[in-house]
Structure 1
C-alpha cells in the first residue's frame, strides 16, 4: 500500500520551496495531497489536507499542529518543516504520538553562514567605504584600513547549524577561531578545530565577532554596553541571527563614537524605524534580513524536506531531527 504525503503550506509558499523537479521527486515517493487554498492555512485547512497522511511537509505560514489537527492523521509518522524554527508549528502532542519532527535549520544555516562570510571579507577589506570613496572620485583613501582573513581572530557566538557552518568555511583561511556557546563542550569545540571561550574573553580577543545564537530569554540583549566596551577598537560586529540579541541603543552609541563597525542583517524591531541611526551611520551596513534563504536559495529547504523523507523511508537518521527537549535552546 502506498504512502500519502500532505503538503500543507499555501500555494504561494509551495511555489517558493518546490520546483518541477521537487514535485516529481515527491510524486515518485507516494501520493501527494497539496493545499490549494490561497492564504496562510487556517487550522481548519491544515486539518482538511493532513487527513489520512503518513507524512506532512510544513513551511512558513503554517500554524501549530494541535490535537484536533493531528487526530485527522492517526498514521502520521513525521513532519518535515521546509523552513527554519519549528516553534511555530510544534505541540507536545506531536512527540506524545511518536511523530518525528525535522527542521530545515541546516540548509537555512548554510545560507546564513555564507552571508556572514561574505560580510566578514567585505568588511575586513574595507570594501564598503572604498566603494563610496571611488564613487565620489577618489581612489586610494582608506586602503590603509584593509585587513585580510589572515592571522586574525574570529569570534563566533553560537555553535548551532549556522555557526558551525560559518566555522567550517573559516577553516579555509589562516585564522584563529574562538567560540562561545554554553551548550557546546570543550571536546566538541576541539573536534570542530576551534577554541571554546567565555563570552567576555571572546569579545576582548576577536577582530571579528559574528553572532549565530538563538533568540531565547538568555540571549536577550546579551550584547550590551558593557560587552561592547570589551571589544577591540575597529572590531567588526556581524549579526545574521536575531536583532533581539543586541542592545541596539548601546550599539548605536558605540557606532556614533566611530569605534566599531557593524553589519546587521537583523534588527529589533524589524524593519528599524525610518529615522533610525542604523540607516545612516557610515560604519553600519544594514541589509533587509537576506542572510538565510532568498529566491532560488529557498529551494534548498524544499529539497531538504524531500531528502529527509527519503532518509526516513530508507531507515536512515534524520539530519534535521528536533527533539522536544531541544526546544529551549533552539532558535
Structure 2
C-alpha cells in the first residue's frame, strides 16, 4: 500500500487540508499525519518520513537533505503544498530521481484575484474617495476610471501572471506582457501582446508585477525605470519586495506622480516608520495576495489531485524539474 506522509506540523495540515481532502487521500493509500504543531525539527522530519512513498511538505519544512532522505529509501515523489520549492528540494532529491510538484498554480489564483481587485479599486480611486467620504465630503470623481480602454502591463507570465491575464479577458482592455521567457505565441494564447520592458513602462496605465525573485529581477523597478512610467500610473506588486527599489519608489510617490499597491516589501514587515505606511498614494497590505484562511484549501485540493495523477502514472500538473529552478520564483 502506498504510504503518504505529511511532514508539516498538525496545525499546518489542518489549515491546508480539509477533512474531506484527507479522506480522499486515504482512498489512495496509508496516510501518516504529523501530530505535532509547529515547523518540524530535523529529527521529527527523519522520523516522519520513514518508509514513505510520497511526502507532502509545506511552509516551515526543512530542506530534504541526503540525511533526511536516507530514512525514506522508497520515496518516489515530494509534493509541496505551497509555492516555491527552492527551500525544500536539494541536489539529493534530483539525484535520487524523486519527482517534485508544488501548488504554485493554486497559490497563483489567489494572487491574480488580489491583483485584479487592486486594479479595479485603484482605477476607481476607491481608496481616496473612501477617506474623503468618511470626513463628510462627497468626493470629486475626476480621477475615477473604469477597467475599460486602458492599457494593463503585466511583468511575468508565470502561474499568477498568467491567471491575471486570463481574468483581464473579461474586460475591454489592452494587455501588454513583459516576460523574457514567454514567446510571442504564448503571450497571444494568454490574451496579451509581448513587448519589451521599455514599451511596457512607457505605455501602461496599470503595471502588475508577477515576476520571480531572481538576480535579473532584483531592483528591476529602480530610479531609471520608474521615471519612465506615465504620470498617474498604478504600480501593483504582489510578487516579491526585492523587485522594487523602495527608496526610488518612495521618491516617486512623494512627488505625487504615481500610485502604488504593495502586498510585499523588502524586508517584511517594513520598519514602523517606513514612508509606505504614511504616504497617501501608497496602499500597503500585509502579504495577503496568496492563499490565506479559506483560500489555503485550494492548495490541499491541488496536491491531492496531483497525487492521483502521480499514482495514475500521469505527469503532475505542478511538476517541477531541476532545470526549471533557475527561472522559478
Runs of 4+ more than 6 Å apart: none
Distance, in Å, in 1 between the alignment partners of 2:79 and 2:48 is 15
Gaps of 5+ in 2: none
Q: Give the secondary-structure state (helix, strand or coil) at the position aligned to 1:168.
A: helix
Distance, in Å, in 2 between the alignment partners of 1:81 and 1:287 is 25
Q: In structure 2, what is the equivalent of residue 190 of structure 1? A: 188
1:215 Cα shift?
A: 0.6
Segment of structure 1 superposing worse, 40-49 or 286-295: 40-49
Q: Give the secondary-structure state (helix, strand or coil) at the position aligned to 1:308.
A: helix
Segment of structure 1 superposing worse, 155-164 or 43-52: 43-52
**Alignment pair present for 1:312 and 2:299:** no
Q: What TM-score do the two structures reach when normalised by structure 2?
A: 0.98
Q: Give the secondary-structure state (helix, strand or coil) at the position aligned to 2:320.
A: coil
For residue 172 of structure 2, the aligned residue among 171, 174, 180 is 174
Q: Give the secondary-structure state (helix, strand or coil) at the position aligned to 1:230.
A: coil
Q: In structure 2, what is the equivalent of residue 126 of structure 1? A: 125
- CA deviation vs aligned residue, 1:27-72 (integer Å, no higher than 9, x gap): 1111111122233112221111111111010001101111121121
Q: What TM-score do the two structures reach when normalised by structure 1?
A: 0.98
Q: How does 1:30-179 map to 2 (within 5 A)?
A: 30-141=29-140, 143-179=141-177
Distance, in Å, in 1 between the alignment partners of 2:231 and 2:28 is 56
Distance, in Å, in 2 between the alignment partners of 1:46 and 1:132 is 50
**Alignment pair present for 1:228 and 2:226:** yes
Q: In structure 2, what is the equivalent of residue 268 of structure 1? A: 266
Gaps of 5+ in 1: none
Cα root mean square deviation, aligned: 0.9
Distance, in Å, in 1 between the alignment partners of 2:280 and 2:96 is 53
Q: Give the secondary-structure state (helix, strand or coil) at the position aligned to 1:209.
A: strand
Q: Give the secondary-structure state (helix, strand or coil) at the position aligned to 1:238.
A: strand
Q: In structure 1, what is the equivalent of residue 199 of structure 2? A: 201
Aligned residues: 329
Q: Is the 8 A contact 2:12 2:38 kept in 1?
A: no
Distance, in Å, in 1 between the alignment partners of 2:208 and 2:37 is 38
